[in-house]
Amino acid sequence: MDVQKLKNLDSLFQQEIKAERLKGCSIKILHKGQSVYEGCFGSDTMESVYRIFSMTKPITAVAVLMLVERGLLDQNEPVSKFIPEFAGMKVATPEGEVPAKNEITIAHCLNMTSGLVYPGLDSVSAIRLGKEAERISVRQEFGESLDGLSVAKAIANIPLLFEPGTAWNYSVSGDVLSAVVELVTGVRYGEFLRRAIFEPLGMKDTAYVSGLGEREERLAEIYTRLPDGRVVPASKQQIEIATNGFVSTKSTSFDGGGSGLCSTLADYSQFALMLLGEGELDGVRILGRKTAELLHTDCLPENVRRTINFNNIKGYSYSNLVRIMKDTGEALSNGSVGEYGWDGMLGTYFMVDPKEELVMVYGQQILEGLDEILMRKIRSILYGAL
């Protein structure tokens, strides 16, 4: 790798800061296990703690697969085996709710083919889940302790967007999986992650907000993007409107499998390096090699893959709570087929490229999320240095 070419990232981020399209960000790149570039800009430092939101999901996939390879879970098992409320789910149709023909399985949740939704979309399912999220937020605000099972049972009350297994839709599936992990292990989800993944990998700054303690002082500031593209500090009200019971930015009693974790670039790099090492890092094995390979194996049939509706993952498939590069031409990327990773609601992002032995982790905190053009520029510079 030509590390001198990576200095183009300095110019890119300085330009973004000068134009006020960014107020703070940081990035870490590792090649063949060695750090080749670190940069922090504006208000952020390499010690900044980021709310990683949906970058919680790949960690949840690892947690589930750990239980699969121990024989405690099978991907084809129905969720209702663990949470009976998921038996007899209904599908919302223009004619009304009809009984689902298939049960939601663990695999459906891992691959976002469960038919579950997130609040905010224009559908009967999403509107009803949005109301449920509001109730969850109020209950937590008034001090009620809600565990993963309570939240999963609330999700089970919502009709499905489609028949499980027939299409793809981004959803609260990760939060259902974390409840299953709690039931199988008998341990609160955040505690399971700490013992099974974070401590073994030396991820000392990764936790839910409720577990950050004094590290909460290092949380990066959250910004919001104005119509002209400039970003300014977000108000408390803006933050509360943008989040809900499933994607909270504050301390709650609920450890979600779909969002909620906070981490640093150094910590998340350890997790990504473990994935690059096919389940092992510095002699510590989290997953068996073949299980780790499964994590970034495309599990979607072609007819389901065609229903993926996210603009920012054109050219990718999606399985086991990560995107997986299928077509670099469609993605307009100079990257590699087989590269995988995910991002978070406020614009955090990571990628693992097994072919090039490459890891990149990026941090920012903007309510409107990642600028897709900026990320393509970052990736173009990164791959241009190979």
Least confident of 31-35, 118-122, 229-233, 254-258: 118-122
Residues 47 and 84 in one domain: no
Among the three residues 185, 202, 218, which one is the final residue of a domain in this structure? Answer: 185
Q: Quote the pLDDT of residue 141.
A: 59
Percent of the chain with pLDDT over 90: 84
Residues 275 and 237 in one domain: yes
Among the three residues 164, 185, 206, which one is the final residue of a domain in this structure? Answer: 185
Residues 166 and 226 in one domain: no
DSSP 371: -
d(CA 208, CA 230): 30
* CATH number, residue 114: 1.20.58
Stretch (H or E) spanning 350: strand 349-353
Residues 96 and 147 in one domain: yes
pLDDT in tens, 281-298: 999 999 999 999 999 999
pLDDT band (50, 70, 90) for residue 261: very high
Residues 104 and 251 in one domain: no
Q: Quote the pLDDT of residue 142.
A: 55
Residues 223 and 114 in one domain: no
Among the three residues 128, 155, 185, which one is the final residue of a domain in this structure? Answer: 185
d(CA 301, CA 281): 32
Question: CB neighbours (10 Å) of residue 314?
Answer: 14
pLDDT in tens, 120-169: 766 788 888 878 777 776 666 555 667 889 889 999 999 999 999 999 99
Residues 219 and 240 in one domain: yes
Residues 232 and 317 in one domain: yes
pLDDT in tens, 305-322: 999 988 889 999 999 999
Please list the helix, strand and coil fractions of the chain in percent, rounded to the nearest 5, in that order: 40, 20, 45
Whole-prediction pTM value?
0.96
Residues 90 and 214 in one domain: no
Residues 316 and 199 in one domain: yes
Question: With 90 as the cut, is the pLDDT of residue 343 above it?
Answer: yes
Domain count for the chain: 2
pLDDT in tens, 14-42: 999 999 999 999 999 999 999 999 999 99
Q: Quote the pLDDT of residue 139.
A: 63
DSSP 112: T
Question: With 60 as the cut, is the pLDDT of residue 43 above it?
Answer: yes
Across the chain, what does the average pLDDT equal? Answer: 94
Q: For residue 186, is it left (φ>0), alpha (ψ between -120 and 50) or beta? A: left
For the segment 240-250, the average pLDDT, to the nearest whole number, is: 75
Q: Quote the pLDDT of residue 242.
A: 82
Residues 202 and 222 in one domain: yes
* CATH number, residue 16: 3.40.710.10
Residue 88 domain boundaries: 74-185
Residues 291 and 279 in one domain: yes
Q: Which two tokens stand for residue 53?
A: 């939101």
Q: Quote the pLDDT of residue 140.
A: 62
Letter string b/e over residues 271-288, b meaning 16 or more CB atoms within 10 A of that residue's CB = bbbbbbbbbbbeeeebbb
